[in-house]
């Protein structure tokens, strides 16, 4: 079924949802975005996603045409128009139409797009068996270059690492920052377990302030687990008991091998399983 796309203030048919070749989102990756889940007809953590979107926009001096409440309404309208009860929303704001020069300020109006669609999931088997990853040689963007906290349309840094993963026949790669500490995966945050303690790198290590990350940290604390934000090295990942990734699309997924080294018993460990189950229940619960 053809989708209805929100484009600059109204819903249009998918076939009519077009942007200009002079849009700086296309020409320069100049813009910001969010990926958001819909579970049981509810938009998951919408406030947190919108906060991050507005912060990303502010960081790159991208004016938003709507306030947060209006945007929340537009998201829900788009979800409804496409009868999505379980799916994925891609919300993007580009700098808009400009010239062939870099200058963002010649772009008079930003362009806002909301796509509400189904989601392509990793196969269930991958969650049961756990995934393999590699360490990328591509270093995560320096915080004074393209700040990793900004969810910008420019994902080349992550794409280069993803290519390394795919060249090695694994779905994901761990990215390290310019100091050699773990930053994140190409589209997910990283957690590890050692002596029963759950560790994740601080956002300053070069990761996105993941919404799933925050929910999982909260759920882990509720389960009585100790959660520590700390710089992690590649060696820490090699010797940990459990390793898992979190993200809107992947949710919580265990990692069982990194750079050919087996983690723990070679299957997703007990804490990974527990947090996956708790996340699943929390996200899909009927009433909050
Ligand atoms: N890091 C990167 C680079 C990402 O693209 C994403 C997901 N979009 C994440 C982490 C996970 O963030 P979230 O849980 O908010 O989806």
At 74-95, the pLDDT tens digits run: 999 999 999 999 999 999 999 9
Instruction: Check pLDDT > 80 for residue 120.
Output: no
Q: What is the tens place of the pLDDT at every residue in 128-141?
A: 999 999 999 999 99
Q: Which of 132, 97, 123 is nearest to 111 (CA)?
A: 97
Q: Half-sphere exposure (CA, 13 Å, Cβ side) for 86? A: 9
- Ligand 1 atom closest to Cα of 52? 15
- List the alpha helices (DSSP H) in 41-86: 46-59, 68-81
pTM recorded for the entire structure: 0.97
Which residues pair with residue 222 across a beta bridge? none
Cα 48 to ligand 1 centre (Å): 13
In CATH terms, 4-117 corresponds, of 3.30.565.10, 1.20.1260.10, 1.25.40.10, 3.30.470.10, to 3.30.470.10
Q: What is the tens place of the pLDDT at every residue in 167-224?
A: 999 999 999 999 999 999 999 999 999 999 999 999 999 999 999 999 999 999 999 9
Instruction: Check pLDDT > 90 for residue 122.
Output: no
- Residues with Cβ < 8 Å from 261, sequence gap 6 or more? 238
Q: Which of 65, 64, 91 is nearest to 77 (CA)?
A: 91
| pLDDT score, position 52 | 98
Residue range 154-162: mean pLDDT, rounded:
98
Counting ligand 1 atoms within 8 A of each CB, the residue from 172, 189, 205, 212 with the most, and so the one to mutate, is 189
The dotted CATH code for 124-285 is 3.20.10.10
Instruction: Check pLDDT > 60 for residue 50.
Output: yes
Residue percentage of the chain with pLDDT more than 70: 99
Instruction: Check pLDDT > 60 for residue 288.
Output: no
Arithmetic mean of pLDDT over the chain: 96
Looking at the chain, how many residues does it have? 288
Please say whether the beta carbons of 244 and 126 come within 8 A.
no
Cα 199 to ligand 1 centre (Å): 17
Instruction: Give the Cα separation of 203 and 147 in Å (integer).
Output: 11
> Residue 169, Cα to own-chain centre: how many angstroms?
22
| pLDDT score, position 287 | 54
Show me where the domains of the chain are located: 4-117, 124-285
């Amino acid at each position: 079924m053809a989708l209805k796309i929100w484009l600059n203030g109204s819903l249009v048919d998918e076939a009519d949802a077009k942007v200009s070749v002079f849009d700086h989102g296309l020409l320069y990756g100049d813009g910001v975005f969010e990926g958001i889940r819909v579970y049981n007809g509810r938009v998951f953590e919408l406030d947190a996603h919108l906060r991050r979107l507005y912060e990303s926009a502010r960081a790159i001096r991208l004016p938003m045409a709507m306030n947060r409440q209006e945007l929340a309404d537009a998201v829900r309208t788009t979800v409804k128009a496409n009868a999505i009860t379980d799916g994925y929303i891609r919300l993007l704001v580009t700098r808009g139409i400009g010239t062939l020069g870099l200058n963002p300020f010649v772009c008079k109006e930003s362009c806002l797009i909301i796509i509400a669609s189904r989601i392509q999931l990793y196969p269930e088997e991958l969650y049961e068996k756990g995934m393999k990853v590699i360490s990328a040689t591509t270093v995560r963007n320096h915080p004074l270059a393209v700040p990793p906290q900004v969810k910008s349309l420019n994902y080349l840094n992550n794409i280069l690492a993803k290519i390394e993963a795919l060249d090695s026949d694994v779905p994901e790669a761990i990215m390290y920052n310019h100091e050699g500490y773990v930053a994140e995966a190409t589209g997910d945050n990283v957690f590890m377990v050692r002596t029963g303690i759950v560790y994740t790198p601080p956002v300053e290590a070069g990761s996105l302030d993941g919404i799933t990350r925050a929910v999982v940290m909260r759920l882990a604390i509720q389960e009585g687990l100790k959660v520590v934000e700390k710089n992690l090295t590649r060696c820490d990942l090699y010797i940990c008991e459990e390793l898992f990734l979190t993200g809107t699309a992947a949710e919580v997924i265990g990692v069982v091998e990194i750079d050919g080294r087996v983690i723990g018993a070679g299957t997703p460990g007990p804490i990974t399983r527990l947090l996956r189950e708790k996340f699943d229940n929390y996200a899909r619960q009927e009433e909050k």
